Structure 1
Amino acid sequence: MKKTLVALAVLAAGSAQAAEVYNNDGVSVSISGSAEVQYIQDFEQDGTNVDATTRLDDGDVTITTSIEMTDDWATVAGLSYDLATDDRDAETDKLYVGFESSEYGTITFGRQTLIADDDGIGKDFELGDLQYFGTQIESADDVVKYVYDNGQFYFGLSHDLDAANGDSTSGVEVLDGRIGVRFDDFDVRLYVYTDDYASGFETTAYNLEAEYTFDAFNIAASYGEAEIETSSGATFFDATYIELNGSYTVDKFTYAIGYAFVSEDETDTDGDNIYANVVYQLHANVRTYAEIGYKDIDNTADYDLGYLVGMEVKF
C-alpha cells in the first residue's frame, strides 16, 4: 500500500502522531491520542464577570485499522473516544468504516467529522473569536465522506444523511465539500457548506483560503460569506468574513499574529478580532504556548483582553 496507516490516522483523527502497534498478514492497527489543558481568561465584557479557569481543551484516544484487500485497496475503520467531557464520561467521538485506495482516495461511513471541520486558516488556540462561520455543523453520526489527495490536487465531499435517529444533529441535513491545489509553497482551496434544517432554515456558506510558506515564514488569507434563510425565504443572517495571519518559526519557537473581521448585514454590525501567540516545541510530541486576544463589536460594551497558557501532549 502506497498510503501508510499514519496517513490514515492523520485523516481520521487529525493527529500527525500515530504508533503502529500491530502489523501482520496485511492487517495494521495504530493508536494515537492527545491531552491538552489550558488556563484561560476568556473575553470579559464590561458589566460581566468571567473568571479565569482551567480548561480541558482536548483528551482523546483513537484506534485505526487498515486491512489490505488487494495491492491498491484496503478496508479501513476508526474508533475514537473523547475524554475531555464535562461529566467525566468517555464519549464515542468517531466510529466509522470504509475503503481506501492510494489511487482513488478514501471513502468512509459512520460517525465522523465533516469536511467543514477542516476549514479556516486561524493560527489561534482559543481567542480567534470572530472567524469564519463558527456555527456550522462539523461532526455527525450519519456521515458519508470521500477524500482524495494526490499531493498537488485534493478534493473532498461529505454528506450528513440525517437518519433522524435522535443524535445531536437530528433534524438537519448537511452537504459540504472542498477543492484545492498546491504549487510548491503555495496552497489555495475553496470550502463550500450547505445545511437544511427541519424547521425550514437553510444555510449556504463558502470560504476561499490561501497559504504561502517561504523559509521560516507562513502567511495566510481567507474571504468567506455565510447566509441563513428562513422557511419563507427571508434572510435571517448574512455575513462576510475576512482573516489575515502570519507566523515565524525560529529554533523551537513559533510566533503568530492574526486579524479577523466580520460584517453582518441584517444587524448592520461589524466586529474586529486580533490575536497573538507564541509556541515552544519541547519535543516533537509536546508543546507549550501562550496567547492574548482582543475583540470589538459595534454597539456592544467593551471587552477586556483575553489570555491563556496551555500545554499539549500527543502520542
Structure 2
Amino acid sequence: MKKTLVALAVTAFATSASALTVYENEGTKVDFDGSIRLRLDNEKSKTDNKTTKRAHTNLHNDGSRFGVKAKHTLGDDLFAFGRLEFRFNGGDRAKSTDQFGDLYAHRAYVGIGSKQYGEVSFGRQVTIGDDITQAGFDNAYGVFDSTLTGAGKSVVRYDYKGVEGLHVGVDYRFAEDRDENGEVKKGKLKSGYGAGVVYELKVAEGQSATVAAGYTRDNFVTDTKNKHHKDAWAFGASYSVDALTLAADYAGSFVKEGKDKDRFNGFRVGAKYQVTPAVAVYGNYGYGVSKDKANNVTVSKDVFHKFMLGSSYQVHKNVFTYVEGGVGKVTTTAYEGNKAIKTKTSENNIGVGLRVFW
C-alpha cells in the first residue's frame, strides 16, 4: 500500500508543473511555458592504439526552451491547436561553449483535432517515432539512440487515441533542405514516412505495462541512378510495479546507397526506482553492433557497450535536479584486405544538472 501511495504521489509531482495561462476566454486558451536547463559535466575520452586522450569540464545549456501553445474550441468535439517553441544554439553544441547561441524555432506546428476521430497537425514537430522506445531513463548520458526518425521540419502527422490506452500514429515528411534553385540538396531528405503504435494497460492494482512498435522510411537525394534510403524499426516495452519500472528497447536499421550498405542492431534495458515521491534512482545498459559494406564487402564493424547510472531529486514541482554518470566502450574493426585493425575507444562522463520550469 505504501508503495502504491508513492507511485500516486510521483504522478502528482509529474503533472503539477503547469504553464502560465496568459489568455483564456470563449473557448480559447493560450499558455506560455518554458524551462532553464543547465548542466555542469566532465567528459573524458581515450583511444587506446592512438594513445589520444581528451578531458574537459564545462557548464552549459542543457536544452533550455520557451514557447507558446494555443487551443481553440470550434465545436462540441472539434478544436484547433498550435505550438511555437524556441531553443538555443541551433542544436549545434560546437557553436558556443555555453551553448546559449543563436535562438531558433525548434517546434512550429498547427492542427485540427477531435476526441472521436483523432488529430492532424502540420509543421516542424515530432513524430510517433519519438514515443516508441520506453527504456530511456537518462537525463544526460543516453546509452542508446533510437534508429527511428522522431522529428522533422515539414511533417504531416495523424494521431488516433479513441480507444483507452491506445495511441496510433502515422506521418509523412517532405524535403527539408533545398539549394538556391529550390532543388533538394544531395544527401538530404527527399521524402519519408512512418507509423507506430503504443498501448498502455493496467495489469492490476499498482501495476501497469506499455508495449510499442514503430517503423520509418527515409528517402535521400542522389546525383546518380543509385537509390539511397534508410529503413528503421524499433520495439519497446515497460512494466511498472508500484515504485519500480523495468523497460527494454530493441532497434535496427538498414541504409542502402547503391552497393554500399550499413546495418545496425542494438538493444537497451533499464530500471528506475522511485525511492520517495521526490527522489529516484535509475540506470541503463546498451549494446549495439554496426556493420558497413562497400561494394558488398565488409569494410568496418563497430561494437559498443554503454552503462549509465543516475539519481534525480524533484526539489519543487517546478525545480528538478540530477546527478548522472556514463561509461561507454566502442571497439571498431577496420578491414583492409586480409588485415583486421581494431581500435578501442572509451568515454567517461559525469554531470550535475538543474532545471527550473514555469
Q: TM-score if structure 1 supplies the norm length?
A: 0.87
Q: Distance in 1 between matches of 2:131 and 2:114?
A: 21
Deviations 1:62-96 (CA, angstroms, capped at 9, x unpaired)? 11111111110011111111135546332111221
Task: Report the more deviating stretch, 273-282 or 138-147.
Answer: 138-147
Q: Distance in 1 between matches of 2:306 and 2:343?
A: 14
Contact 1:277 1:291 in 2 (8 A): yes
Give the equivalent residue in structure 1 for 2:252.
Answer: 225
Question: Given the alignment of the two structures, is residue 64 of structure 1 paired with residue 69 of structure 2, yes or no?
Answer: yes
Deviations 1:175-224 (A, max 9, x none): 12211211210000002111010023211111110011111100001112
Q: Please show how residues 1-315 of structure 1 align to structure 2 within 5 Å.
A: 17-46=18-47, 47-85=52-90, 86=95, 88-120=101-133, 121-133=135-147, 137-149=149-161, 150-162=163-175, 165=178, 171-184=189-202, 185-199=208-222, 200-230=227-257, 232=258, 234-251=259-276, 252-266=278-292, 267-298=300-331, 299-315=342-358
CA contact (8 A) 2:132 2:198 kept: no
Q: CA deviation at 1:43?
A: 4.4
Residues 180, 140 of structure 1: alpha-carbon distance in 2 compared, 3 angstrom cutoff: closer
Aligned Cα root-mean-square deviation (Å) = 2.3
Residues 42 and 137 of structure 1: CA distance in aligned 2, closer, same or farther (over 3 Å): farther
CA–CA distance in 2 between the matches of 1:114 and 1:303?
33
Q: Given residue 211 of structure 1, which amino acid in structure 2 is its aligned partner? A: S
Unaligned runs of 5+ in 1: 1-14
Q: CA deviation at 1:29?
A: 0.8
Residues 234-291 of structure 1: CA distance to partner in whole angstroms, max 9, x if unpaired? 3521111111000101122110011000012333332110100000110122111011
- Pair 1:147–1:161, CA change in 2 (3 A): same
Local SS of the residue matching 1:117 = helix
Cα distance 1:48–1:237, how it changes in 2: closer, same or farther (>3 A)?
same
Q: Please identify, of 176-185 and 86-95, the stretch whose mean Cα deviation from structure 2 is larger.
A: 86-95
Partner of residue 11, structure 1: none
Q: Do the aligned partners of 2:40 and 2:351 also contact (CA within 8 Å) in 1?
A: yes
User: Does structure 1 conserve the Cα–Cα contact (< 8 Å) formed by 2:117 and 2:160?
Assistant: yes
Equivalents in 2 of 1:268, 1:304: separation in Å?
19
More deviation, 259-268/78-87: 78-87
Q: Is the 8 A contact 1:131 1:241 kept in 2?
A: no
Alpha-carbon distance, 1:30 to partner: 1.2
Query: Is the Cα contact below 8 Å between 2:132 and 2:197 reproduced in 1?
Result: no
CA distance in 1, matches of 2:305, 2:266: 10
- For the 8 Å contact 2:189–2:218, the answer to whether it is kept is no
CA distance in 1, matches of 2:17, 2:159: 17
> Contact 2:248 / 2:270 at 8 angstroms: preserved in 1?
yes
4+ residue stretches of structure 1 with deviation over 6 A?
none
- What are structure 2's unaligned runs of at least 5 residues? 1-15, 203-207, 293-299, 332-341
Q: Distance in 2 between matches of 1:313 and 1:286?
A: 5
C-alpha deviation, 1:164, in angstroms:
5.4
In structure 2, the CA distance between the partners of 1:153 and 1:16, relative to structure 1 (3 Å rule), is: farther
SS of the aligned residue for 1:52 comes to strand
For 1:56 and 1:156, locate their aligned partners in 2 and report how far apart those are by CA, in whole Å.
32
Deviation at 1:35, TM superposition (A): 1.4
CA distance in structure 2 between the partners assigned to 1:306 and 1:31 by the alignment: 34
Report how many residues are paired: 297
